[in-house]
Structure 1
Amino acid sequence: MNDKTTRSVTAPTSESAYGAPCWVSLMARDLGAAQDFYGTVLGWEFRKGRLGDDFTIALADGVPVAGIGALAPRLTVAVAWTPYFAVEDADVAGARIRERSGTVAVGPISLSTGRGLLAADRDGAVFGVWEGELVHDWPAWRDHAPAWIRLLSRDAFDSAIFYGEVFDWAGGRAGCCEVTYAEGAVLLHRDGRVLARLTSGADPTSGNPLLHPRWHVHFAVKDVEETASAARRCGATLLGERSTSTGAEVSLRDPDGAIFTVSSYDGMVPALPHPLVH
């Protein structure tokens, strides 16, 4: 549907955060089971969202972390954690994705607070686009980073060009996101805070799902080992673990099939000044 949705004048909108990752969300086959799993494993509490009875907001210590919704039977999409990027016009974003050989799988569709679509980049990594009201506490979500994202692609520089052209990264416009290169990754940042990392090395033919082109969603936890143990007790599958310069990371597949990573690192550090031009 292409009709614009009426919006509250009090809520922040995607126009104020255009081009930036603004949310992460899971569409689950069983909403209640997903809430039970993540509530037990990550200690989340849930409140009803503004998108209807089939969508909830996950809270950690009262701060919004992510959305979990019930997957509509008519949608033939995989159960997955998906990052959403803020745009001023979902139709324009969708056209740019298609023009650059990406795929729009769903939408734009109109919801009570805005319009969204699901897409995949040229490598097949799935992401979302959102036009409309953001969660009321979006600045707190951005600054406290209870969730952060990393793209594994075949070529981070090529991916940076794709997303940069879709979302106006490094476009010279006031308030746009910037990109730099540091420590082997392309960093997306704004106002001195890293919002996402893009890394190379994906192999779509690998038998390891962690090596497929994918946006990896990380959740910061106090104790990675204990969280991973709790997840396995609740039916999750351990996919991989590693130690990095910023702490431990463990990647898991939840009982519904969605891949996520728990990390001791919150992802928010000043970016190093090595600008990229696209």
Structure 2
Amino acid sequence: MAKNETSGKGGVSGNTVFGAPCWVSLTTRDVETTEEFYRAVFGWEWRPNSLGDRFRVAQVDGVPVAGIAAVASMWQMAVAWTVYFAVPSADEVAARCRERGGTTAVGPLSLPPGRAALLADRDGAVFGIWEGRLVTDWEQWHEAAPTFIRLHTRNAFDAAIFYGEVLDWATSRQGCCEVQYDGDEVVLRSGGVVVARIHSGAVESAPDPTIRPHWQVNFTVADVAACVRTARTHGGEVLQWEAGADEAVLADPDGARFTVTSKVEH
């Protein structure tokens, strides 16, 4: 994957990126259907992954932007988009997560050129961590397929403390993420770029999974209405959208939920 250090434009230049979202990956059942859907909705092209036939990497103008793993049935995992955070040590971060009431679902595992794990915070929201060389340069990733993440959780400020301690947010270490308390939400920035927002109000026992604590992956697009139409015609579902709105919640043919928005995060 490209480098664990960024260069060129932006405030993170020359600093190790850690604690920030660095990749998104989709756990699904069917590679071909998934490829066709996201190619139509986002214009992504796909290439094989060194991990095997069940894995693919999406590209925009040759830049890797997302991954899919058709292992949901084989590994009895949920069909879902997962955000991965860059960390210096997967073992240390997994241990800190457990010490603070979180759990380890998978790993840490060796996935050359790095190590990965799937964790859950103490409210049950699942997230991934990645130690090692990034899939693609951090700034190139954001430019090629602008992505930001929202955590819908029980209490935003309590969650910010948990993730801050686990992922070393707002520390004195060079390159760490900046945390800002903005009204009733928490905003996470890396190098001045908004990479995540944390919202209160999720209900742990809610029967609707969209109301339970979860990390939501958002893709910035030029035309939300066009994405909505294309998703419908390619077997997806529109879960939330009003005509003319600048944001829509969609599901792919396998049921994985994601958001498209025309709003640029600052």
- Scaled by the length of structure 2, the TM-score of the pair is 0.89
Q: Which moved more, 1:78-87 or 1:11-20?
A: 11-20
Kept in 1, the 8 Å contact 2:59–2:66? The answer is yes
Q: In structure 1, how many angstroms separate the alpha carbons of the residues matched to 2:243 and 2:102?
A: 33
Q: 1:13 is aligned with what amino acid?
A: N
After superposition, give the CA deviation of every residue in 1:155-190 in whole Å (9 maximum; x if it has no partner).
000100111010100111111111001253201112
Let me know the Cα RMSD of the aligned residues.
2.2
Question: Among the aligned pairs, what percent are the same residue?
Answer: 53
Structure 1 portions without partners, runs of 5+: 1-7, 270-278
Q: 1:259 is aligned with what amino acid?
A: R
- Mapping of residues 33-44 of structure 1, within 5 Å: 33-44=33-44
Instruction: Provide the secondary structure at the position in 1 that maps to 2:140.
Output: helix
- Mapping of residues 101-112 of structure 1, within 5 Å: 101-112=101-112
Cα 1:168–1:259 shift into 2, 3 Å: same
Question: Match for residue 219 of structure 1?
Answer: 219
Q: In structure 1, how many angstroms separate the alpha carbons of the residues matched to 2:95 and 2:84?
A: 17
Q: In structure 1, how many angstroms separate the alpha carbons of the residues matched to 2:166 and 2:242?
A: 32
Question: Match for residue 206 of structure 1?
Answer: 206
Is residue 254 of structure 2 the alignment partner of residue 256 of structure 1? yes
Instruction: Provide the secondary structure at the position in 1 that maps to 2:241.
Output: strand
Cα 1:238–1:204 shift into 2, 3 Å: farther
Q: 1:250 is aligned with what amino acid?
A: A
Question: Match for residue 127 of structure 1?
Answer: 127
Question: Match for residue 11 of structure 2?
Answer: none
After superposition, give the CA deviation of every residue in 1:110-153 in whole Å (9 maximum; x if it has no partner).
11211101111111111001111101333211355522111000
Question: Match for residue 228 of structure 2?
Answer: 228
Question: Match for residue 180 of structure 1?
Answer: 180
Q: Which moved more, 1:223-232 or 1:46-55?
A: 46-55
Greater than 4 Å deviation, 4+ residue runs: none
Is residue 29 of structure 2 the alignment partner of residue 47 of structure 1? no
Instruction: Provide the secondary structure at the position in 2 that maps to 1:16.
Output: coil
Kept in 1, the 8 Å contact 2:105–2:117? The answer is yes
Kept in 1, the 8 Å contact 2:72–2:78? The answer is no
1:16 Cα offset (Å): 2.1
After superposition, give the CA deviation of every residue in 1:79-119 in whole Å (9 maximum; x if it has no partner).
10000001111111111111111110000111121110111
- Scaled by the length of structure 1, the TM-score of the pair is 0.85
Cα 1:120–1:226 shift into 2, 3 Å: same
Question: Match for residue 4 of structure 1?
Answer: none
Cα 1:194–1:129 shift into 2, 3 Å: same
Q: In structure 1, how many angstroms separate the alpha carbons of the residues matched to 2:44 and 2:143?
A: 19
1:50 Cα offset (Å): 4.3
Q: Which moved more, 1:80-89 or 1:228-237?
A: 228-237
